[in-house]
Structure formats: structure tokens, C-alpha cells
Amino acid sequence: MKIKALSRSTAEYTRETKSDIQKLPRNIDPELHPLERAREYKRALNAAKLERMFAKPFLASLSGHIDGVYAMAKNPWDLDSVVTGSGDGELRMWSLSSQETVWRAPEAHRGIVKGVCNIPGGETDRFLSVGTDKLVKVWSRSESAVASDGITPET
């Protein structure tokens, strides 16, 4: 007479430290779990529904920069304007209502514009920009950004 016995190693189910997660025996044979595929399909379907439910509609695209936009600043006192800085060193101020560029400095920095911010104060139209060229520049929307000799920022 033959007797078969189940045996398992203690290393398979014991934890090394108290903070380890308890190891559970798991059999991934699909014949032992006939509803696994249906369960995964339902989870994927619910995730897709939630993604669509929380998605926001695409409103507009502001096209004009040649390279990617790396910095953006919203003026809290002028809700219609946004300042952006791109990878080719260009600064642009946009009108959100007309979706057009209202001010630009094509070669504001030599390299990527890493940050832009508005200078606090309700009536001011000045903002700062910083780039990988290690320069911080002060700009004013009321002054012309492009002159005949190049760029005319305030320093």
C-alpha cells in the first residue's frame, strides 16, 4: 500500500521580518479559477468608465511655440493672459479669450526657459523669466520685446 503525503518547505510560508507581507499559497492554474478572466475584464471595464467619467473636455490649443513649453505663469490680476516659456528660449504672452499671442520675445534666453512668474502688485504688467543660461530677466508687457538691435529686457 502506497501513502502520498503533502509536504512543503517552511521557507515558502514564513516571513523573514515582521514587516514583510504574509505569503499566501497561490495557484495560477486557469482551470482552478474559471472566473478569473471575467473578473479581470470587469475591473478593466470599470477603470475605463472611471477614466472617461473624470476626463475633462479639451478646450483649445495655443499654437506658436516651435519647441515644447517648459514654463507657464497665470496672472492672477489679468484673467485673460498667460505667459509661457519654451525650450528654444522664446517667451510668449497669450490672450486666452482670443487664443492668440499678444506679446513675444523670440530669443529671450540662450537655452531652455525654466521658469516664469508674474511680479506681485495689482496694476503691474511685469514678469520674470529664468533660463538655463543662468540669467533672470524682468520683462514688461507694455514695452516692445523685439527691437531693431534684438531683445530689450529690463535688467
The pLDDT value given to residue 123: 63
Ordered per-residue pLDDT tens for the chain, 155 residues? 788 777 777 777 778 888 888 777 677 776 777 777 888 889 888 888 888 888 778 778 888 899 899 999 998 888 888 999 999 999 999 999 999 999 999 889 999 999 999 887 766 678 999 999 999 999 987 776 553 334 444 54
- State the pLDDT at residue 86: 94
pLDDT at 151: 47
Q: In whole angstroms, what is the distance from residue 55 CA to residue 147 CA?
A: 43
Q: How many Å apart are CA 118 and CA 78, to the nearest integer?
A: 10
Number of H helices, E strands in the chain: 1, 9
pLDDT of residue 57: 81
Residue 144's pLDDT is 63
Bridge partners of 82, per DSSP, are 74, 94
pTM of the model: 0.57
> Which residue type occupies 126?
R
CB-based contacts of 122, cutoff 8 Å, min separation 6: 77
Report d(CA 148, CA 55) in Å as an integer.
46
Please report the pLDDT score of residue 145 as a whole number.
59
Residues whose CB is less than 8 angstroms from the CB of residue 127 and which lie 6 or more positions away in sequence, other chains included: 73, 75, 83, 116, 117, 118, 119, 138, 139, 141
Residue matched to cell numbers 514564513: 14
Separation between Cα atoms, residue 76 and residue 78, nearest integer Å: 6
- Cα dihedral 101, 104, 107, 109 sign: negative
Task: Give residue 140's pLDDT.
Answer: 87
Predicted local distance difference test score (pLDDT) of residue 2: 81
Give the per-residue pLDDT at 148.
34
